[in-house]
Amino acid sequence: MPDAIEVRKVPLHNVSDASELGKLIDDGVMAADRVIAIIGKTEGNGGVNDYTRIIADRAFREILVEKGADPAKVKEIPIVWSGGTDGVISPHATVFATLPAEQAEPSDEPRLTVGFAMSEHLLPEEIGYTPMITKVADAVKVAMERAGITDPADVHYVQTKTPLLTIHTIRDAKSRGKSVWTEHTHESMDLSNGCTALGIAVALGEIEMPTDADVMANRDLFSSVASCSSGVELDQAQVVVVGNARGVGGRYRIGHSVMQNALDQDGIWAAIKDAGLDLPERPHVSDIQGRLVNVFLKCEASLDGTVNGRRNAMLDDSDVHWHRQIKSCVGGVTAAVTGDPACFVSVSAAHQGPEGGGPVAAIVDLGSGEPTGYRPPSP
């Protein structure tokens, strides 16, 4: 049985700041050598050349080593950074660590569990095609097993980081006589995310194995729990499976739902309720009372150029890419629901949730005593 999980959200005071994680370790909330995953937002451009992800990654690994963790093991910790804190979204990181059995709050109810795996090496010519789907699906199953999850229904959030195409990897494929799905590197971000989501959906039994022709085309095929990011840092799929299991103990539980469109606040509330927080029929931010650790969302501009029947110009805007516009919009909606601008909102949601919407996962604190989530300052 996996260990219980402690999970906390910490702010980034600047792009190279990991001081708040250091404070958690110094205060005994979690041990440096027990941190198993970090998922966060950095304040860069969110694009192919977003160097803030690399800077933040280095800062968080360095603080873990400084606080006593084995440098070799720290290198293996999955740290997934989503670049771009457009609008009110605030840079932050959600840190997952295991707890010794004697420190875990006992519970017979389903509680948070986390598993991690790396896929086989992904070649540039595989990105966007069924070999990538298969390799991702295989890695998801390994991560589930490590999390102690046997029923796919107990998986509520799968965060991945996968390679996208760069000029270098495109040239590499060509040098070997291979072709790639696209030679537009920014477009390959959406492609890598979408193809990865299909792999997650296959692994969890949400869909049957798709064809190459379905990738980025058949938007009826999607995962309700996938949150896929891509970048230049990897040549494999990095997979973090987050779900619930009985017997692990701990304070935390995760749930999920989907937003049907960019304004669907009910989808966010549904995820929070699914995690186990008791809320009224029409909840308000004041009902959360510090019980929400974080929410994790993917978003996408609807291909029909509308939201709730009204036309928008995001997909036609040549000045500001739609990635940044929809992220800012959904970030604002999410912060209005939760009262916390430090929310994980990531763009490029092809095959992640319904067309024009996206998955939502929520982690809540159901433990005894003072809740560990965020409380907005009093007016």
Q: Which two tokens stand for residue 255?
A: 């749930």
* Region of residue 351 (phi > 0: left; psi between -120 and 50: alpha; otherwise: beta): left
Amino acid at 286: S
Choosing from 41, 67, 141, 161, the catalytic residue is: 161
Sign, CA torsion 139/201/351/191: positive
Q: Which two tokens stand for residue 307?
A: 């939201």
Q: Which two tokens stand for residue 66?
A: 């400084």
Mapped onto helix, strand or coil, the DSSP state of residue 153 is helix
Mark whether 229 is an active-site residue.
yes
Mark whether 302 is an active-site residue.
no
Cα–Cα distance measured from residue 283 to residue 343, given in angstroms and rounded to the nearest whole number: 18
Are the C-beta atoms of residues 139 and 202 closer than 8 Å to each other? no
Cα–Cα distance measured from residue 241 to residue 162, given in angstroms and rounded to the nearest whole number: 15
Neighbours of 195 (CB within 10 A): 32
Are the C-beta atoms of residues 295 and 89 closer than 8 Å to each other? no
Choosing from 229, 230, 328, 348, the catalytic residue is: 229
Catalytic residues: 161, 229
